[in-house]
Structure 1
Amino acid sequence: MDVAIETNEEDHEKPPVNQTVVVRVPVKHANLGIRSPA
């Protein structure tokens, strides 16, 4: 049973990591857009 819980924890940690990468990409584009007009 302990092993099953550990596997579930790893799966939950994977989705958050992917979301962080996607958010980082749009944030960089927004910074470039603000720098252009400035």
Structure 2
Amino acid sequence: MSELFPKTTSDEIDPEAAAEQLRREEEMKSDKPPHHED
């Protein structure tokens, strides 16, 4: 049942903070050294 409901709802998330977190994750993925490729 818990998988039906997100741990945080959209009204609990700051859109700017969420966008910043996404940008950081994308930046970390692009900065991964070649020997760490999946």
When normalised by structure 1's length, the TM-score is 0.47
Larger radius of gyration: 1
